[in-house]
Structure 1
Amino acid sequence: MVGIIIGLLAVILNKVFCGILFDTETKLAAQGKIPARGKILYLKDYNFFKWGDFWFLSAMDFAIAYVLVERWPLPAWIAVSCFLAGVFWTALWHWIYMLPSHNPDSAYPQTGVVSRVGRIHLVYFAAQYILGFIGIGMVVLMAMGERQWSPAAFVGLAAGLGYFAMLFSDFLAGRFKRVRNPPG
């Protein structure tokens, strides 16, 4: 029962974060602090945000939180490794988004500029990647026979596949194409 409650709290927290991102983007656009939609991409233009972050990551967060609470604690060395991997992955993507070849969006509206949406998204991005790496660590332990499989793990894996399908659909739609002749 505690696992379900913590899992639901993880879902609520994810949806609150998504709402904050959406509201911040809307306010910045209304104030003219980011270029108009159409000149740059907004979070709501991406399938990974509309469907991936809001729905699939909610399901994945529930599954990971549930398994962490109900089944077993994660060994400390894996938790630390997952934390460091999530922070590194976030820093790597931040660096990529800061490059002149990044296609401007509401988080990074121009080269070297991070909007308030971008700063909030970095925190969200790091939290989700840390949690995602923890989920991977749990699945690896289950696959190695170190821990008993949980049905919730399959929910998390399916949600992860759904998320990456949305991300892939954005790639296919050209939403992540690089700027060919970056300024400078």
Structure 2
Amino acid sequence: MSNYTVESTKVETSDGAKLHTRLFKPIEEGDVKDNLVIVLVHPFSILGGCQALLKGIAAGLAEKGYKAVTFDMRGAGAPIAGSAVDEIREAVGYVSIGYPFGMFASILFGRHHKAVLNSPKPKLFVMGTRDGFTSVKQLQNKLSSAVGRVETHLIEGASHFQMEGPEFDNQMVNLILPFISSL
């Protein structure tokens, strides 16, 4: 039996779209840590990204005492979250798993790259060494110009899509937790 609950709801956007959301939280309200809510943004929808991919990480964070929210974005993906970091005053940090910094991704998402790299808020970038969208060298080059505190964790031999799978969920939770506690 799990020690977290999931509440599903729909949130209506300013233009009338309804987004399906899920809030993962500890069963006991007193077990919630740090009064933080972790917002998890799924990968690019066109490549199969959806909130279901984040269930394991969200559940793992809830089991460790944190509230975590997942939602289905409409036709967009995680790189856009980089632009939101400084637009949302309440956002205190940013964690990226497999952020696409490669050449093709830079053409599509370059303005979002610039926003996250220029944010003074603490950032953690987790990437597999066999990521098909971004090489380790491309990641290092991009992050060398980043403002503020930047941490990197490389997962040896992991590919981009592999890290979205459930076999990496616990590892992602164990990387995210120390970063969150340092904020």
The verdict on a shared fold, with TM-score over 0.5 as the criterion, is: no
Q: TM-score by structure 2 length? A: 0.29
Structure showing greater Rg: 1
Name which structure has the greater RCO, CA cutoff 8 Å, separation 6+: 1
Whose helix fraction is larger, Structure 1's or Structure 2's? 1
Q: TM-score by structure 1 length? A: 0.29
Whose strand fraction is larger, Structure 1's or Structure 2's? 2
